Structure 1
């Protein structure tokens, strides 16, 4: 069983060997994460050719050679030629993260099926046992967590900063965070209005506690 992590690849070199549909899928994910992508392939899908022409990826129009991996943080072998993929596996240096699409047992990591909704990322992995099953589960989750979750999570990012700034009491913060995370709150849709109301109630509750403390002669003993 693998250890699940969110890998930061922004600005780091990712070498993808192959120019077919599988390579295109891997490259789309790497670009979305901000990686510096270099593709090694004598020919490529039109989508990948367009990305190279636009300067979004580097393309070395050639067959694979071991020096193509120089400087790579992450390496993906995504060809339909088992011998080429094996050559990539043999050439990868210690410390380079390696993924061989047709040999899960040789991989340092597996690329999950991913759903992105703004700050929300949901990843489904079978650790290479069945990418098709992972994609099916991803489709089911896409229906459960629609595009509205992106806007909702972006609101929660803003709301968290406001709560931390406006509410000093730790228990009060917890109450607000639970209320904001409730499905009923998300479905309401009037998020800013509801947040303002919740903050007002929490401040009122805090004021009432302070008043009781002022009236209690034992508080200052």
Structure 2
């Protein structure tokens, strides 16, 4: 893997799923300037709110063949193995795909990000142990609070 930062505002983003993980991904995408399309039969309250605010486009239905066409970045965030396989089966090598349920199906991973006023620290276990990454992120955040940065 090669770490990079992407101007996500310039890319078309699809999130398949409407639950907790999808919501977390969408919130991060919106914060970075993306306006993702989200496909799911049901959505969290936060996603409904984001839709009302115009920061996401919700398609309240099940995933259908052809839904990945035209998207450059795709997040698979469902707990339905058949849906996840269907999404993967129609993606192409030219699309960035993150399967949050099986990182072996992904060609990119998100890094945990600690943002301060004028810098950011990104952490990763290369998709192998997100829980460990989260723990390390909290320890570093706690350490930063104790030291004075000029």
Asked whether the two chains share a fold, i.e. TM above 0.5, the reply is yes
Give the secondary structure class of the aligned counterpart of 2:98. Answer: strand
Instruction: State the alpha-carbon separation in 2 of the partners of residues 86 and 145 from structure 1.
Output: 41
Structure 1: give runs of 5+ residues left out of the alignment: 150-182, 187-221
Residue 66 of structure 1, CA deviation: 2.9
Does structure 2 retain, via aligned residues, the 8 Å contact 1:12–1:36? no
1:109 is the counterpart of 2:112: no
Instruction: State the alpha-carbon separation in 2 of the partners of residues 111 and 48 from structure 1.
Output: 20
1:54 is the counterpart of 2:72: no
Larger relative helix fraction: 1
Instruction: Please list the CA deviations of residues 73-99 of structure 1 after superposition, one character each: whole Å capped at 9, or x if unmatched.
Output: 100000011111111111112311001
Higher relative contact order (CA 8 A, sep 6+): 2
Instruction: State the alpha-carbon separation in 1 of the partners of residues 70 and 46 from structure 2.
Output: 25
Aligned-residue Cα RMSD (Å) equals 1.6
Q: Which residue of 1 aligns with 2:132?
A: 133
Give the secondary structure class of the aligned counterpart of 1:40. Answer: strand
Please give the residue correspondences for 1:1-221 in structure 2 after superposition, counting only pairs within 5 Å: 2-146=1-145, 186=150
Would you identify which runs of 4 or more consecutive aligned residues in structure 1 move more than 4 Å?
none
Structure 2: give runs of 5+ residues left out of the alignment: none
Aligned residues: 149
Change (3 A) 1:119 1:83: farther
Residue 64 of structure 1, CA deviation: 0.5
Change (3 A) 1:108 1:119: farther
Residue 3 of structure 1, CA deviation: 1.0
Change (3 A) 1:128 1:111: same
TM-score (norm 2): 0.92
